[in-house]
Structure 1
Amino acid sequence: MSDTGGGHRASANALRDAFDVLHPGKIEVDIVDIYTDYGPFFPYNAYVECYKIMAEYSFLWKIFFEFGETPFGLWLNEFLLELCCFDPFKECLDRPSCSTTKRADMVVSVHPLCQDLPLKILSYLDSNGQTRATTARTTPFATVVTDLGGAHPTWFNPGVDKCFVPSDALYQKARDRKITPEQIIQYGLPIRKGFWSDPSTASSPSSTTTTTAAAASSNNNPGFFERLFGGGGGAKQTPQKSSSSPTVAKVNAKDALRAELGLKPSIPTVLVVGGGDGMGGIIEQAKSLGSKLNADGTSGESSEEEEALYQMVVICGKNEKAQSTLSSQEWGSGVSVEIKGFVNNMDEYMRASDAIVTKAGPGTIAEASICGLPCMLSSFLPGQEEGNVPYVEDSGF
């Protein structure tokens, strides 16, 4: 894998946790950022930094993504990768794994640029250096696609043993790349342990992408997005829970969770996230949304002592600049705002919220759907995340 964005490592960690639960003490998992740790020189050893730059300037991302989809782009990437990285990547795949004295018994890829070359290297190692042809490989190899509504062609190599995809759209992409139905398993996305089940039930691994729009709307403050973005405002009113809201027990559980997180209970709460790296223009989005919430929360007659009508939680991830900037922002009396950096309990923040504003990252979309949290997509990476937008709209998330 490579840490280009937070989703690949989150998926790898989720798979490791699932192995630990399903087969305790029987499987050791070694998670490696092969480009950062074994890339020989620029740009291979700087993929993470390059990703951050291109994610900030999306036109660059669009150029590289679309060129990389062309037949020549695919050939050039494979040629240069094999020419420059075969030996250092071979060192990675041939080294002792975990606590053993031998190399890994199985390789799982959770990154689009970790199929073609690793398959050739495993063939080379399995044949004792006789050939790089994928037919010589005996070490099991699986790809777990961590995109959702769209994916780059490099995810799909017909030489793999199994290719796990989360959606109908990616099943078809795999077929278009000559992967057979017998090789494809459609099984949702690997999701972090905190989202495997409701806190009130026993935890067990699960796949996702099954939440419906009806389920989402029934678990949260009714009409929150409609009031907020549909030209609402007017006289200041305290939001009420309708008869179609969840049971009193569920409402109390959400309020109790908010209290544990240091949030205000019983008021509509929107969660703003930008992925693990805090991408997607999170500063501008938080400022704009906070201004709207404050204006709506202070419309009509009010007093200085009156409580805020809305609450906004902003998770900045590893974006320290965003956290610092937003922490010093004056928000107004109509909205209560909490600014957080990188958190390890995103499941709790989602379950404590009524709606989420997020870039179109597949993992966040899937996790929000599990929590029944309505999504408002604020941005997307061209190509890679573009297909997630209609996926969310068509699925009613």
Structure 2
Amino acid sequence: MINCNTLIFSASIGNGHNQAAKALQEEFEKNGYTCEIIDTFKLVSPAFHKVVLESYLQILKFSPIVWGKLYQHTEEHPWFLIMDQFGTFFTERLYSIIQKHKCKSLISVHPFSTAILSKLKRKKNLDIPLYTVITDFVMHPAYIRNEVDGYFTASDHLDYFANLYNIPISKFYSTGIPICSIPALKKPKWKVKYELQLDPEKKTILIAGGAIGLTKFTKILKTLNAIEDKLQLVCITGHNKKAKAKIEQLESKHEIISTGFTNRFTDYLRASDVILSKAGGLTMAESLACETPILIHQPVPGHEEQNAQYLMNYGAAVKAEICEEIPVILEHILFNERYYEAMVQNIKKIQNPYAAKEIISEISKSVNYKKEATTNQQSHD
């Protein structure tokens, strides 16, 4: 048996869910609690995980509109409940893992994991609290299960959602999206630029496409030649090696710095004056924490489009519908000081860099966790 205070169930379908899981794990361990992350599908069925991941990536790459229609359709027709049936095949494997770890709570950061764990609780009559952490700025019925004891979200429509799906409002916590700690938050932008060997005097734009680098980098970079002032363009291409190679061959009037997947993403984000990206939940939450104005372009239809609308409603982001709009919008953000400052002030109203701390605090009020330090001390006595 392994004594573990909590198990966090994620899914490697998009990097954001794993980042949220790491943020929660980091906060648990800061408080002296033991915690382990389970990559749900990868652990219980690597073959099924591969099928789901490849299907998701193919849809996003070649037919994102299909994903958007599926997302919207499930808000009215709950076909996502089919995941509960898939959960039947994984019940025994997950049950043995939970029993082995003797955990006191379960946390899910992906709706598929929530569905499977709910099925497990129901089938095994498992008396362990289950919490779900929503990694977008909007709620979706795919997260809703009777077996869930608490929902942690950035959504500001909790009363409406609770009434619509007949869920006690006490189960909802408005915490924001959990992100890992960002040491650079305490440093001014010029200093972080200097540490990254960037020119502190130049306006800096971070162009990001998520872990899989879906952004059309070269097309965007070519349009930016329309901006007269010379800029510093940081392109983070994630795991997209082809995009990185194309960027390195591109000629531009601006200085271009390209890098693949990096553990210093939030440093670059804090150093930048604007981020140009799609609207992944974790990236947007990190952008808010870093007080970096957001220009959204080509968000994934469905959840990312809703994230974009949420941020635009609060004046924390602007959206470029077509590529040709990007230089015009960027110039307005970068060189209109009053507009830039207004965006920063709007960001401050909705940011929550300490969401993970709030989530752990709320859960620990209900769960009697044992602290690692206390356990170690008792073993020495």
Give the structure-2-normalised TM-score.
Answer: 0.74
Residue number in structure 1 paired with 2:224: 293
Name the CA shift for 1:91/1:3 in 2 (closer, same or farther; >3 Å): same
Name the CA shift for 1:3/1:395 in 2 (closer, same or farther; >3 Å): same
RMSD: 2.3
Specify which of 59, 70, 74 is matched with residue 64 of structure 1: 70
Residue number in structure 2 paired with 1:53: 58
Where structure 1 has 5 or more consecutive residues not aligned to the other structure, the ranges are: 126-135, 201-249, 299-308
Would you say how many aligned residue pairs link Structure 1 and Structure 2? Answer: 306
Residue number in structure 2 paired with 1:278: 213
Residue number in structure 1 paired with 2:127: 138
User: In the TM superposition, what are the counterparts of 1:210-359 in structure 2 within 5 Å?
Assistant: 250=188, 254-279=189-214, 282=215, 284=216, 286-297=217-228, 309-331=230-252, 334-359=253-278
Residue number in structure 2 paired with 1:5: 14
Task: State the Cα deviation string for residues 96-155 of structure 1 (Å, max 9, x = none).
Answer: 67xxx4443211000011223312213433xxxxxxxxxx4311110111110x343111
Contact 1:34 1:89 in 2 (8 A): no
Question: Which entry has the higher C-alpha Rg, 1 or 2?
Answer: 1
SS in 2 for 1:31: strand
SS in 2 for 1:143: strand
Task: State the Cα deviation string for residues 134-183 of structure 1 (Å, max 9, x = none).
Answer: xx4311110111110x3431112232111111121356335422221111
Give the structure-1-normalised TM-score.
Answer: 0.71
Residue number in structure 2 paired with 1:95: 97
Contact 2:158 2:169 in 1 (8 A): no
Contact 1:14 1:192 in 2 (8 A): yes
How far apart are the structure 2 equivalents of 1:72 and 1:370? 34
Residue number in structure 1 paired with 2:321: none
- How far off is 1:187 after superposition? 0.8
SS in 1 for 2:247: helix
- How far off is 1:271 after superposition? 0.6
Matched, 1:186 2:192: no
SS in 1 for 2:120: helix
Matched, 1:164 2:149: no
Matched, 1:372 2:291: yes
Contact 1:358 1:377 in 2 (8 A): yes
Where structure 2 has 5 or more consecutive residues not aligned to the other structure, the ranges are: 1-9, 317-381
Matched, 1:198 2:185: yes
Q: Which amino acid in the other structure matches residue 131 of structure 2?
A: A
Name the CA shift for 1:59/1:38 in 2 (closer, same or farther; >3 Å): same
How far apart are the structure 2 equivalents of 1:38 and 1:379? 34
Q: Which amino acid in the other structure matches residue 140 of structure 2?
A: H
Percent of aligned pairs sharing the same letter: 27
SS in 2 for 1:114: helix
Name the CA shift for 1:321/1:142 in 2 (closer, same or farther; >3 Å): same
Task: State the Cα deviation string for residues 223-269 of structure 1 (Å, max 9, x = none).
Answer: xxxxxxxxxxxxxxxxxxxxxxxxxxx4xxx3332232122220111
Contact 2:87 2:119 in 1 (8 A): no
Matched, 1:177 2:165: yes
How far apart are the structure 2 equivalents of 1:110 and 1:4? 11
Residue number in structure 2 paired with 1:131: none
How far apart are the structure 1 equivalents of 2:109 and 2:233? 33
Task: State the Cα deviation string for residues 317-346 of structure 1 (Å, max 9, x = none).
Answer: 122221222122222xx2000011011112
Contact 1:38 1:89 in 2 (8 A): no
Residue number in structure 2 paired with 1:18: 27
